[in-house]
Chain A
Amino acid sequence: AQTVTQSQPEMSVQEAETVTLSCTYDTSESNYYLFWYKQPPSRQMILVIRQEAYKQQNATENRFSVNFQKAAKSFSLKISDSQLGDTAMYFCAFTRSGGSNYKLTFGKGTLLTVNP
């Protein structure tokens, strides 16, 4: 079974600074996908960024980028130029490629607060 670990229950950062959220996972699969989801106070689950395990290049989406270390099973999220609207719970998630269930396995989340 796959597991996803987020070791930082809470983090805070000053506006305009950079912050990195950690995520490690455990799997025996060779092909899989990793995600970071943002959950603001509105509760909506918003996809921030996605990484395919077979791609060596780290994914980037504007101010959001990941550091994907496949051998170390690490998938950290870097947020540059933090904004007040980035305040949210962030979930790291894993799903294997193929199979009969496209289940997302989530970490427990990191609550990020951006301070003015």
Chain B
Amino acid sequence: EAQVTQNPRYLITVTGKKLTVTCSQNMNHEYMSWYRQDPGLGLRQIYYSMNVEVTDKGDVPEGYKVSRKEKRNFPLILESPSPNQTSLYFCASTRIWTGEANYGYTFGSGTRLTVV
């Protein structure tokens, strides 16, 4: 089954304790991205990657890091989490578009992170 797998689904942690949220896709997609969802704000892009070793900041990158060492994996790293990073996080992937084609996005199931 084609899917994006995020782990964990739920995580409660303490301020300052480094954590990683994993994201893996099995569709050979070049493009991967992280979003955070907050009530009343919709989803906002944190980081994205167009291919292996190519990453760039989205709209709200502060406090986050990413890496793309393999095509299938795109982990989100919070080196020193703070309570304002309490949110619902989604990973998404898609193929590189050619011409006018948009192949659509596949989302993971989300990670509910609480930082206390």
A43, A52, A91, A103 — most chain B CB neighbours (10 Å): A43
What is the chain B residue whose CB lies nearest that of A4?
Answer: B42
A91, A103, A104 — most chain B CB neighbours (10 Å): A104
B35, B43, B48, B92 — most chain A CB neighbours (10 Å): B43
What is the chain A residue whose CB lies nearest that of B42?
Answer: A106
A33 close to B109 (CB less than 8 A): no
A103 close to B33 (CB less than 8 A): yes
Given A43-B109, A47-B105, A95-B102, A102-B43 contact (CB < 8 Å)? no
Please, how many angstroms separate the alpha-carbon atoms of A98 and B105 in the complex?
15
**Chain A at the B interface: mostly helix, strand, loop or mixed?**
loop
Given A47-B105, A91-B43, A108-B40, A101-B48 contact (CB < 8 Å)? yes
A44 at the interface (CB under 8 A from B): yes
B100 close to A44 (CB less than 8 A): no
Residues of B within 8 A of A97 (CB): 97, 100, 102
Other-chain residue from B45, B94, B97, B104 in contact with A50 (beta carbon distance below 8 A): B104
Please, how many angstroms separate the alpha-carbon atoms of A99 and B26 in the complex?
24
Which residues on A are within 8 Å of B, measured CB to CB? 4, 31, 33, 42-45, 47, 50, 52, 54, 91, 93, 95, 97-98, 100-104, 106-109
Which residues on B are within 8 Å of A, measured CB to CB? 31, 33, 35, 40-45, 48, 50, 56, 58-59, 88, 90, 92, 94, 97, 100, 102, 104-105, 107, 109-110, 112
